[in-house]
Amino acid sequence: MSKLHEECGVFGIYSPDGHDVAGACYYALYALQHRGQESCGIVVNHQGLMRSHKDTGLVNDVFTKDVLDSLGYGEIAVGHVRYGTSGINPAQNAQPLTVNHVKGLMALAHNGCLTNAYELREEQELNGSIYHTTSDAEVIAYAIVKERLKTKSIEDAVSNAMDSLKGAYSIVMMSSTKLIGARDPYGFHPLCIGKLNESWVFASETCALDAIGATFVRDVEPGEVVIADKNGLRSNTAHVGEKPRGLCVFEYIYFARPDSVVDGSSVHMARQRAGAFLALDHPVQADVVIGVPDSGIDAAIGYARQSGIPYGIGFIKNKYIGRTFIQPTQSDRENKVRIKLNPVSSVVKGKRVVLVDDSIVRGTTCARIVKLLRDAGATEVHMRSSAPPFLYPCYFGTDIDKRENLIAYNHTIEEIREIIGVDSLGYLRPENAERLCDNTACGFCTGCFTGEYPCDPPATTVKSKFERSIMEGGNK
């Protein structure tokens, strides 16, 4: 937890005349790889027959040419990339999930975290449901199937299931004839709609649309269910507007790719705005501003422009190393920092450096990065975080599960400055985090900074005895 665990990434495509939907999924998931690097999967539907492949690993490793050829052409496909969590079998929880129920087949991919997963799962198990994973996606699937037995259409089942689902979820799923997307009424996580010739596509981020040459149409509204089938695109808005907007602010700070547009606002510009706020609130005399690749770079550019201090490329990133938090143990994560980042000594040697990063969670990665700069000859290092201090858990899709794991909860800013070894330290103010979006309709969840959440946190974060036994077994 030296850095945040990310959200997952979801994608779906409906091609009425048949298409290489598996190939489209592949390239879209490649573009969404930053959202999850532990497992991935694709399910293809062709005339009611669903073919699936999922496994641990990166997209280009899991989906070889032979695998993609075996999935074949089809009318609909759903894909997923997933981040890793300690102690849980990653292959077991790979998505999309395929469910065969009395009214047909469906495949579902999910991004987010339910706050009432424990209660729903307990209820479903008591009614005979048999679980094979510890994922919220299976809870959602059973909730939809339950409603499908009582409704005339799969989209009505999804809408009705939303009455019982609480918390954060962006869903892309398919039946044998329809592609469906749904976003929770708070809109915690993004979901957008695109058009590729006669095909409709749904994706976590617009960068996935760009990767396959699709045109952005619009964002899915919080609470909306969108359906693509032979009749085109339509939506169910029964839950739209029933809750205040609560987009996770970390989509702009860290999770989303900078070339994406989330809920009408450029991620790239939002991060530059965060850097400008930092320069105004935490000025310092320095020679160069550098960013920690990748999500700290835009904020560093914003800081440099606002402050007038030159921007420099302070680190070269090894692009063949994944984000540090995906390593299974803390010692492995720390050791990878040296391999992943190498300082450019000609930029920092003998210089007073402003170092901008997206966040400080536990502080161990920051301390090692600062040491790299010191060893490269930086005379001063002034740390700036484009996120406010983490003080509270997140219950909606990131792995900030205990306050005790957060350096800002256990230490003052001055103590953190000493621990990570910098000459000064400044954080983005929480009120400025809510000003990153240039879309006035945006509303944010900033609960990990303020302790104020859009909806009630879960009563428990352990979903079942089954999950507990897996976690304990994985940690022995």
Q: Where are the domains of the chain?
A: 9-246, 261-450
Please give the Cα distance from 163 to 213 (Å, whole number).
36
Buried b (16+ CB within 10 A) or exposed e, 209-245: bbbbebebbebbbbbbbbbbbeeeeebbebbbeebeb
Q: What is the DSSP letter of 252?
A: I
Q: What is the pLDDT of residue 295?
A: 86
Structure tokens that stand for 120 in this block: 């729903």
Residue 464 pLDDT: 45
Helix (H) or strand (E) holding 121: helix 117-126
Please report, for residues 114, 304, 326, 395, 405, the alpha-carbon distance to residue 402 in angstroms, rounded to integers and kept in the order given. 17, 34, 18, 10, 6
List the structure tokens of 168.
């954060």
Residues designated as active site: 8
Q: Give CA 97 to chain center in angstroms.
A: 19
Spatial separation of the C-alpha atoms in residues 74 and 13, rounded to whole Å: 10
DSSP designation for 396: S
Superfamily classification of domain 9-246: Aminohydrolase, N-terminal nucleophile (Ntn) domain (3.60.20.10)
Q: Which residues contact 135 (CB under 8 A, 6 or more apart)?
A: 93, 95, 97, 110
Are the CB atoms for 225 and 209 separated by under 8 Å?
no
**Which residue(s) pair with 195 in the sheet?**
200, 215
Contact 83, 464 (CB under 8 A): no
Q: Determine the pLDDT at residue 29.
A: 98
What's the confidence (pLDDT) of residue 83? 83
What is the rounded distance in angstroms from the CA atom of residue 413 to the CA atom of residue 409? 10
Q: Are 177 and 106 in contact (CB under 8 A)?
A: no
Return d(Cα 119, Cα 52) in angstroms, integer: 30
The angle formed by the CA atoms of residues 18, 21 and 25, to the nearest 5 degrees, is 165
Which structure tokens are listed for 113?
């975290």
Total-model pTM: 0.90
The one-letter amino acid code at 265 reads S
Say what the pLDDT of residue 151 is: 95
CATH number of 261-450: 3.40.50.2020
> 248 - beta bridge partners?
445
C-alpha–C-alpha distance, residues 59 and 322, integer Å = 13
CB 58 within 8 A of CB 37: yes
- Please give the pLDDT value at position 196: 96
Interatomic CA distance for residues 323 and 407, integer angstroms: 20
pLDDT of the chain along its 476 residues, tens only? 345 555 699 999 999 988 899 999 999 999 999 999 999 999 999 999 999 999 999 999 999 999 999 998 999 999 999 986 444 567 888 999 999 999 999 999 999 999 999 899 999 988 888 888 888 999 999 999 999 999 999 999 999 999 999 999 999 999 999 999 999 999 999 999 999 999 999 999 999 999 999 999 999 999 999 999 999 999 999 999 999 999 999 999 999 999 999 999 999 999 999 999 999 999 999 999 999 998 899 999 999 999 999 999 999 988 776 544 444 455 555 566 667 889 999 999 999 999 999 999 888 889 999 999 999 999 999 999 999 999 998 889 876 767 888 999 999 999 999 999 999 999 999 999 999 988 767 889 999 999 999 998 887 665 444 444 444 443 32
